[in-house]
Structure 1
Amino acid sequence: MTHNLLFCTAEEAKPFVPKILASEQAQGIYPYALVESSQGFQPGQPYRDQLRKDDTFNTDFIGASINDCGAWALSKENNKYLYTDTIITVDALSVEDETVTLWVYPLHQDAPFLRRDQEPEIWYPFRVHYTKLWPLLVEFLDMGRPADTYGTLFMRNEEFTDANGVFDFDKANEIILTGNGG
């Protein structure tokens, strides 16, 4: 299975990470890989895709910016077990509202699905409730990036983002299912 990279960037968010890692456990999948070391994953020591509620961990990414996390992810683009053009950050706000930020790095071939004021190869944030992260990744990004889903995500992002900056996956997905996306 290919994993999505998960970065914890705030000390106070650490207790929330096991909940995120376990969010798809009922389906028997563990789609996220916790990035702990800036040195990368060590041979013989696979990344952690699950933690017990009382597990502790250390990470080199406390206080890291999206540029730090993104550069690290992009440097792993040859790893066939990791998605490197999408990353997830867990920050101090995550603890308060149970959201995470999905960062998407559209490539040049994705440019037709971006607005005119957007450019490829820049990290774009989509803050979502952690229970909507996996559906967003699967339905919007892993399904071949069709024009209606990718276009809705980028071209109509503001329409589906509330005053708190949280993207409403359900509302956006409803529009797509009725044939009005893109």
Structure 2
Amino acid sequence: MANIVMFIILAVVILGSALMCVMTKRIMRAATFLLFVLLGVSGLYFLLDYTFLGAAQISVYAGGVTMIYIFAIQLVSKRTLQGLVERMKGSRVVFGALITLISLVTVVGVFLKNKFIDMAAQLPDEEVSMNLIGHTLMGSEKYQYVLPFEFISVFLLACIIGGIVISRKE
């Protein structure tokens, strides 16, 4: 019963923060709400007893990515940010809702066609050892992830350098 209550609380925090993140007009508040969304997702990982993923979510996404966003926001001048207020036109809202509905129908169709829900119900209840997770994350062979992590770190470094270069041109 306690797990259900915690799930409901985390779901409300995640959905509320995500909604506020896209609805607010202030960019720093949007970054703060994004932080709450990422922390809520890490809470879901902890609720499912995936402590490694919960800790990785906090350190990598909630800590690192949010700080990169805030760093990039601080690099942009106030004059640039003040001119970014945009009014929503009715046609754009209808177009966005239509695209969202088409995307939702596509995702549901893929789930039903490939029977993902039936496959998830048939998964074995085996616990994956931390040793196997470590070897998979740090291995460089097929189906191991050290190279994608390195590419992502180089990509994030290039984004930071690009942000600095763009902000310095005046």
Same fold per superposition (TM over 0.5): no
Give the TM-score of the pair, scaled to structure 1.
Answer: 0.26
TM-score (ref. length: structure 2): 0.27
Larger radius of gyration: 2
**More helix, by proportion:** 2
- The structure that is strand-richer by fraction is 1
